[in-house]
């Protein structure tokens, strides 16, 4: 069945778009997406294809996730989300996702899947929350991003505790993509409870990476921004 997925994807290849995406996702030597291959297929098209194959077996999804082609991996994740949503054994898919973090290796792959699978599972199975704290201590950039992005589901349910704990752990992270993701999640908390975000900022704004701080206060008024940026 996975061959049908590949056939559908191959029919949507766009060389011009592939060049744009290769540049956008930093695929040159030494960049975070080094060596990633793009076919130039837009996300809405991949979502349509994934819905056609929501009953794909985990074995076939594994083949997609092992692909060197970015859009094949992303479509595999979209299919996995479809499977998760209808599955009576969500823990099986949760574990399957964790076994594949090596294949979830760019920021869009993380951002579009981690909240939908890990976040959703963990908010309903708090005994497994230690998974996030294992991921956030990883040497792997993408596993650390998975940890913070998974908490987006918690934020949407007005549960901020895990996000704030993980954000504190990541304050000294050296990677810009982590700074951006933490700042983004803090900003999302602020949309729902600005006082809670400001409480965190008041404790840490003097030591936060500038990018993290800028992202977190993006929606603040000019005077508030000026206060926090003067450190």
Mean pLDDT across the stretch 72-98?
Answer: 97
Residue 69 is part of a domain; what is its CATH number?
1.25.10.90
Counting Cα atoms < 13 Å in the Cβ hemisphere of 17 gives 10
Q: What is the mean pLDDT of the chain?
A: 96
Which pLDDT belongs to residue 230? 84
Question: What confidence category does residue 52 fall into, taking pLDDT thresholds of 50, 70 and 90?
Answer: very high
The CA distance from 84 to 94, in Å, is: 8
Of 61, 86, 111, which residue sits at a domain end? 86
pTM: 0.95
* Selection from 79, 70, 136, 77 nearest residue 106 by Cα: 70
The dihedral sign for the CA sequence 180, 144, 165, 185: positive
Residues 74, 123, single domain; the answer is: no
Residue of 3 and 9 predicted with greater confidence: 9
**Domain annotation covers residue 212:** yes
State how far the Cα of 121 lies from the Cα of 114, in Å rounded to an integer: 10
Domain-embedded: residue 63: yes
CA–CA–CA angle 135, 162, 105 (5° rounding): 30
Instruction: Using pLDDT thresholds of 50, 70 and 90, give the confidence band for residue 130.
Output: very high
Instruction: Evaluate if residue 2 carries a pLDDT over 90.
Output: no
User: Domain check: are 30 and 124 in the same one?
Assistant: no
Measure the CA–CA gap between 105 and 44, rounded to whole angstroms. Answer: 20
- Tell me which residue range forms the domain holding 219: 101-231
Tokens of 56: 């794909």
Q: How far is CA 190 from CA 161, 193, 194, in A?
A: 13, 5, 4
Hey, what are 225's tokens? 């921004």
Q: 151 and 73 in one domain?
A: no
Domain final position from 24, 54, 86: 86
**pLDDT number for residue 136:** 98
134 and 46 within one domain: no
Q: What is the pLDDT of residue 101?
A: 97
**Is residue 81 domain-shared with residue 122, that is, in the same domain?**
no
> Which of 126, 81, 83, 117 minimizes the C-alpha distance to 98?
117
Number of domains in the chain: 2
pLDDT in tens, 137-151: 999 999 999 999 999
């Amino acid at each position: 069945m996975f061959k049908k997925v590949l056939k559908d994807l191959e029919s949507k290849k766009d060389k011009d778009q592939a060049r744009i995406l290769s540049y956008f996702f930093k695929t040159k030597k030494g960049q975070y997406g080094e060596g990633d291959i793009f076919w130039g297929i837009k996300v809405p098209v991949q979502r349509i294809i994934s819905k056609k194959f929501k009953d794909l077996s985990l074995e076939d999804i594994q083949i997609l996730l092992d692909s060197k082609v970015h859009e094949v991996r992303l479509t595999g994740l979209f299919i996995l989300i479809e499977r998760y949503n209808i599955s009576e054994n969500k823990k099986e898919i949760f574990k399957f996702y964790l076994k594949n973090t090596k294949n979830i290796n760019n920021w869009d792959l993380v951002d579009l899947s981690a909240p939908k699978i890990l976040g959703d599972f963990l908010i309903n199975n708090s005994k497994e929350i230690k998974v996030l704290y294992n991921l956030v201590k990883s040497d792997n950039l993408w596993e650390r991003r998975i940890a913070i992005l998974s908490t987006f589901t918690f934020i949407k349910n007005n549960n901020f505790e895990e996000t704030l704990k993980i954000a504190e752990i990541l304050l000294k992270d050296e990677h810009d993509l982590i700074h951006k993701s933490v700042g983004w999640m803090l900003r999302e908390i602020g949309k729902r409870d600005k006082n809670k975000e400001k409480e965190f900022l008041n404790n840490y704004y003097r030591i936060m990476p500038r990018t993290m701080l800028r992202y977190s206060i993006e929606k603040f008024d000019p005077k508030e921004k000026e206060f926090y940026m003067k450190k």
